[in-house]
Amino acid sequence: QPFTSPPTHIIMASSSSSPSICGAFAEEMDATITAIIAPGRGILAADESTGTIGKRFESINLPNTEDNGRAYRTLLFTTPGGIGDYISGAILFEETLFQTALDGRPMVEHMRANGIIPGIKVDKGVVTLPGTQGESYTAGLDGLGKRCAEYYAAGARFAKWRAVYTITDSLPSSLCMTANAEGLAHYAATCQENGLVPIVEPEILMDGRHSIQRSAEVTEAVLSSVFAAL
C-alpha cells in the first residue's frame, strides 16, 4: 500500500547549545525561540517566490506584479483582530523583508506591531547533487554570512533552510545525507553568528510506495546524520 510519510521534521537550534558561536546574540535568540514556540501560536510560511505567488494570482486572473504582491502581503500583515495571538512568526521571501506596505511603512513594522516575529528563507533552492541518482543538495551557502547580517539589520530574527530527501529501496544515499547534513549545520552556525535563530528543515518526501518500516529507517538515518552534524 502507498504510505504517507510523517510531516517534515523541523529543528530549532538553541543558542544555549552553542554559546561560543552566538556570542552577544545568545540572550536575544533564546527570547526569539521562546516567543516562536509559545502555546497556541504557530509559524506562517509566507515565503512564496515570485514564480509561486504568480501561480496563485493567475488562478484569480491577477497580474503577477510587485504592487499586487505588496497589496497581498499588506492585507495579510495588517489584518486586525489579534492576528498575532495565533501567529508567532512569519517566514518571508527576501523581497518582502525589504518591502514597504501600501501605507509606506516597512512590512516588518506592521508585523512587529501585531506581535509577529519576521523570519527569512535563506536557501537558494535545491540543485542536483553530482554522483547520485538525481538526488538534491540545497544551494545558498556562498555569501550567506553577509546576507544574514543584512537580514538581521532589516529586522529578521530567525531563518529557514530546507533540504530534501527522496525515499526508495536504495535512497537516500549516504552521499546525499552527508552533504545535506553538513549544509544544514553550516547554515545553522552561520545564522547563529549573525543573530538569526536557524530553523533546520530536513524534508523527507512522502512520494513513493515504500513501507512504513522503510520510512522509519530513513527518518532515523536522516535525523541522526543531521543531529551529528549540528
Q: For residue 200, which amino acid is it? A: V
- CA angle at 120 for the pair 119 and 121, rounded to the nearest 5°: 140
Determine what percent of the chain is predicted with pLDDT higher than 90: 83
H/E run at residue 112: helix 107-113
The DSSP output letter for 9 is: P
pLDDT digits (tens, 9 = 90+) for 3-14: 333 445 566 655
> What are the φ/ψ torsions at residue 14 (nearest 5 degrees)?
-85, 145
pLDDT at site 203: 96
Q: How far is CA 70 from the centre of its chain?
A: 21
pLDDT score, position 1: 33
| Cα–Cα distance, 212 to 110 (Å, whole number) | 44
Residue 6 has a pLDDT of: 41
Q: Which residues contact 211 (CB under 8 A, 6 or more apart)?
A: 3
Widest Cα–Cα separation across the chain = 54
Q: What is the model's pLDDT at position 24?
A: 86
Range 147-160 average pLDDT: 98
Among 136, 183, 193, 192, residue whose Cα is nearest residue 161: 183
Tally: H helices and E strands in the chain: 9, 8
What cell numbers appear for 35 in the block? 516567543
For cell 523570519, name the residue.
119
Give the tens place of pLDDT for each residue, 58-115.
999 999 999 999 999 999 999 888 899 999 999 999 999 999 999 999 999 999 999 9
